[in-house]
């Protein structure tokens, strides 16, 4: 009797396995449809963000004429849109990165980023790519391993000194998983800073107070007269540091090709005008702690050493450095795409916390700022800011390291590498 009931039960539910299979299929179809919808939503959002150029430009700093310049070069965007943002909707597991090559760009706030990397690498006992003396590697030639302090290791961890970018050369001394990062600045303000800091008026024989205006009335002539091997870096200096030869800078297609290459190679190009936001994106990329990115601004000129730039001269500067304008406009737009992907509210909160920590550091460490200390290297006639520590902060390791100038810090790291690997300096 029990067997008959059981058989009846089986006949009643003999379609159950099919029902279960159909139910599973329906659930899977719903999940797939939801995933496609979500991915398509993100894709369309990113596309809208690319195509809504006016909103992107309005987010930029009007003081630096970004709106005017970017609108002039908007036609470039269709040829430079990157698939990076669509390929990285799902972020990989966050693991702190140890191998970092920072292309230290001249006059872009890069000394402050370098100090952050110095402190982290020193604390983690990492191995630095260092010049045997001073603070340049190969410059103005492309990076080459023959120009570094040779250590008995196969690979180094951190490169953060001035050099010209050469990926193949760098990967001869750094691992394949090296993260490449850099920072750029609005071309007019960057060039004004470079012009005075590198004493271009002296090198080109220009006299008088309006040296910048004089130079840009005939820049080719003055570069020809320049008494320096760095004359090649006086046009599109940011592209020059990225490794582009000056002979190709007049070819717009080759400039665009170079920008595409930089975009593929560097997961983050920071923007000096949005420094704190850049550091938050860097923190997210490197998977470090917020405390690692607390800073004081290093190697900053005193305001009295900044030249006034007229609108006419600024336009001539942009025309002269048209490649750098394309470079900056592109990465300024993609920078805000990264901020959008990161989350604007999340970004605002993390920037607030970073600035809060900076205020605490200033309160703890800094007695005053000064532009006449003996620690800072400065060109003749140029005032560069430094910090005087509070008496009680002079033995505070963080305060000391955070305010340490590049040349002094480089000498200390060089001696530490010598001691660590039991070598002698050349």
Task: Give me the CATH number covering residue 384.
Answer: 3.40.50
Per-residue pLDDT of the chain (426 residues; tens, 9 = 90+): 554 554 454 455 455 555 455 556 565 665 555 454 444 544 444 444 444 444 443 443 333 333 343 333 334 444 444 433 333 434 557 899 999 999 999 989 999 999 999 999 999 999 999 999 999 999 999 999 999 999 999 999 999 999 999 999 999 999 999 999 999 999 999 999 988 888 788 888 888 778 999 999 999 888 887 766 666 778 999 999 999 998 999 999 999 999 999 999 999 999 999 999 999 999 999 999 999 999 999 877 666 667 789 999 999 999 999 999 999 999 999 999 999 999 999 999 999 999 999 999 999 999 988 766 656 665 666 667 778 999 999 999 999 999 999 999 999 999 999 999 999 998
Residue 290: inside a domain, yes or no? Answer: yes
User: Could you give the CA distance from residue 206 to residue 228 in angstroms, rounded to a whole number?
Assistant: 14
State the DSSP string of 230-270.
GGGGGSSHHHHHTT--GGGTT-HHHHHHHHHHHHHH-SEEE
Q: Is the peptide bond before 140 cis (omega within 30 degrees of 0)?
A: yes
83, with CB counted inside 10 A (0-12, 13-18, 19+), is exposed
- DSSP-based three-state secondary structure for 384: strand
Number of domains in the chain: 1
Per-residue confidence (pLDDT) for residue 112, from 0 to 100: 96
- Contacting residues for 289 by C-beta, under 8 A, at least 6 apart: 283
Residue 201: inside a domain, yes or no? Answer: yes
Residue ranges making up the domain that contains 388: 94-421
Residue 80: inside a domain, yes or no? Answer: no
Residue 27: inside a domain, yes or no? Answer: no
Residue 236: inside a domain, yes or no? Answer: yes
Q: Are the C-beta atoms of residues 130 and 153 closer than 8 Å to each other? A: no
CA-closest candidate to residue 382, choices 309, 310, 308, 299: 299
Residue 84: inside a domain, yes or no? Answer: no
Q: Are the C-beta atoms of residues 103 and 180 closer than 8 Å to each other? A: yes
The pTM assigned to this predicted structure is 0.78
CA-closest candidate to residue 88, choices 352, 380, 334: 334
Residue 297: inside a domain, yes or no? Answer: yes
Residue 76: inside a domain, yes or no? Answer: no
């Amino acid at each position: 009797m029990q067997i008959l009931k059981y058989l009846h039960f089986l006949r009643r539910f003999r379609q159950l396995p099919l029902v279960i299979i159909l139910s599973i299929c329906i659930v899977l179809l719903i999940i797939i449809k939801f995933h496609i919808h979500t991915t398509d939503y993100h894709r369309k959002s990113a596309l809208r963000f690319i195509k809504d150029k006016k909103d992107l430009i309005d987010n930029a700093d009007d003081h630096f004429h970004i709106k005017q310049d970017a609108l002039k070069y908007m036609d470039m965007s269709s040829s430079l849109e990157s698939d990076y943002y669509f390929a990285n909707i799902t972020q990989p597991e966050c693991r702190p990165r140890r191998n970092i090559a920072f292309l230290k760009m001249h006059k872009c706030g890069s000394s402050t980023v370098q100090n952050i990397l110095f402190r982290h690498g020193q604390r983690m006992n990492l191995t630095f790519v260092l010049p045997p003396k001073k603070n340049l590697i190969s410059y103005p030639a492309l990076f080459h391993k023959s120009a570094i302090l040779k250590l008995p290791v196969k690979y180094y961890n951190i490169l953060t000194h001035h050099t010209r970018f050469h990926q193949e050369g760098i990967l001869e001394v750094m691992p394949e998983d090296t993260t490449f990062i850099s920072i750029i600045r609005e071309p007019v303000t960057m060039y004004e800073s470079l012009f005075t800091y590198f004493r271009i008026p002296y090198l080109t024989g220009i006299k008088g107070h309006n040296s910048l205006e004089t130079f840009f009335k005939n820049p080719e002539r003055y570069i020809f007269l320049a008494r320096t091997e760095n004359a090649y870096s006086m046009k599109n200096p940011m592209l020059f540091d990225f490794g582009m030869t000056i002979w190709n800078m007049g070819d717009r297609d080759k400039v665009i090709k170079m920008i595409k290459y930089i975009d593929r190679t560097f997961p983050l190009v920071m923007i000096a005008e949005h420094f704190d936001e850049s550091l938050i994106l860097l923190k997210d990329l490197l998977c470090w702690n917020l405390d690692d990115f607390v800073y004081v601004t290093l190697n900053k000129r005193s305001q009295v050493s900044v030249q006034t730039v007229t609108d006419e001269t600024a336009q001539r500067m942009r025309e002269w450095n048209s490649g750098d304008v394309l470079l900056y406009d592109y990465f300024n737009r993609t920078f805000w795409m990264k901020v959008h992907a990161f989350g604007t509210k999340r970004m605002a909160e993390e920037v607030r916390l970073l600035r809060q920590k900076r205020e605490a550091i200033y309160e703890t460490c800094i007695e005053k700022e000064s532009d006449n200390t003996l620690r800072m290297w400065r060109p003749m006639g140029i005032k560069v800011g430094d910090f005087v520590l509070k008496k009680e902060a002079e033995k505070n390791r963080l305060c000391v390291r955070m305010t340490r100038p590049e040349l002094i810090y480089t000498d200390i790291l060089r001696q530490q590498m010598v001691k660590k690997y039991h070598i002698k300096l050349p």
